[in-house]
Homo-oligomer: A and B are copies of this chain.
Amino acid sequence: MPKERTATLRLQDVAEQAGVSLATASRSLSGAPGVSEAVAERVREVARRLGYVANVHARSLAGGVSRSVGLVVHEIGDPYFAEIASGVLRVGAREGLTVQICHTGRDPERELDQIRLLVANRVGAIIVAGSGFVDASKQAAAKADLQAFQRAGGRVAVIGRHHLGADAVLPDNQKGGRAITEHLLGLGHRRIAVASGARELTTIADRMTGVEEALTAEGIDPASVPVVEAEFTRAGGRQAAERILDEHPETTAILALNDDMAIGVLSALRARGVSVPEDVSVAGFDDVAVAQDLAPSLTTVRLPMAEMGEQALLLALKEPSSRPRRRHAGHEVVARDSTAPPRR
């Protein structure tokens, strides 16, 4: 990292060139009141001519105000998080905020480090995206740090995770899980299998709860439905599908609890010569951008990821309210070609 970054020009230089004091120059550029329009414009003109860019560090040190926000995701290469990030960046750019993105590389242990790093960077707000643990003690440290950050005046918003005391954007995973299951049941499927991620995560637990609700309502014992846990990735989907095919050949529909897994399921079924949806129907969850372009196109639950990112930042930017706000992201079953009535 560079050492001598001093060659840059300072507000001082601008002030001298414009023939005003440091204070006036500062006020002119930040648009603060107390400067005549004529002087302000002259200062701005000089700054523009010189190519002056204010030092954000000095500014935030002196002013105590931060123009940057932090975003913590599991893995930025994952389309789900990439699309959330896209939404956050969009409103960030609009508001003139810089966004620092951290990802844990799917290692929950590292979430705390990332949060600490953002706190050290004195970001104005922290957005944490991605599922938390059902067992709250596993993320108690992160929660404590976030609360300390809030007490110090920082804003926090979470996406897809409950964290009392922070604004949250919440997809209704439970209702979504119920709805997509009802879609399969409505088509006539009775032998459904689930390709799931780790159930210790709230997102997955919630989706499963919805699934079980729908099954029960239809008179099916949830315990009779095979649930295969694997990684929440395409590779995990492939493995899960293999096991389902091997151990439960009677299955007529596989519900994957996210699209990434669903893509893996499709891939594995194809490799085994099982045709979708004729032999087995497949449904996913999230509606990542590529879902509609798969062959067959994927029936799934649409979550407006980018909007969720936007909403989260907008919430964080608002004046903090006494009690945490909630935004519920809509969910909607998108029926495409990967699901059809069972033929068996």
Contacts and interface: CB of A to CB of B under 8 A. Distances in A.
Contact of A5 (B53, B66, B101): B66
Interface residues of A, number: 75
Interface string A63-79: 01111100000011111
A21 interface: no
Contacts of A7: 151-153
Q: Could you tell me the dominant secondary structure of chain A's interface residues?
A: mixed
Nearest to A316: B1
Contacts of A2: 65-66, 124-125, 153-155
A293 B261 CA distance: 11
A65 B1 contact: yes
A68 to B, nearest CB: 7
A174 to B, nearest CB: 26
Interface in A2-32: 2-8
Number of copies: 2
A103 interface: yes
Contacts of A44: none
A79 B76 contact: no
A82 B89 contact: no
16 contacts: A5-B122, A53-B120, A55-B120, A57-B57, A58-B61, A77-B85, A77-B86, A78-B82, A79-B82, A98-B117, A98-B121, A100-B100, A234-B293, A263-B293, A264-B293, A267-B293
